[in-house]
Structure 1
Amino acid sequence: MRKNQQIILTVVVALLLGGCVTTREAQIETALKLDKEHFKKTLSLKDDSLDTVATFSTVNGFKEKHGLLGI
């Protein structure tokens, strides 16, 4: 009985860790697919006509989403 519990626990832990690796690899692949055109489309510009500084931001170029709702 005790041996079966250990085997089940080992399988559950292995599946959980395997899922984390797959997710991490998917994140890396997604980030590598982002090209120059993608960032040109998602670029935001903050410019004030009274100021001499313009800020270009690509923060919105890549956002991670988690969970069922994509939050």
Structure 2
Amino acid sequence: MVRQPDPAGTSPAADTALLLGVIDAAGGRDVALDTAGRDPLRRLQTEWHTTIYGDKAASGDALLSSFLY
């Protein structure tokens, strides 16, 4: 999990806004993400992972810990 450059027109703030909109529109129901929702979620997960683990983000321990939470 190494952060890659964001595709054109995306940013962590835009990805967060998109996901919050999807969750809010679900009205308390389970949220099913399509590709347009999964890609921002994956970018945010990678962003969080690299922020938390820093230089050790690609280590086996960090990757395993990330998948556990």
Q: Could you tell me the TM-score, scaled by structure 2's length?
A: 0.31
Higher relative contact order (CA 8 A, sep 6+): 2
Higher-Rg structure is 1
Q: Which has the higher strand share?
A: 1
Q: Could you tell me the TM-score, scaled by structure 1's length?
A: 0.30
Q: Which has the higher helix share?
A: 2
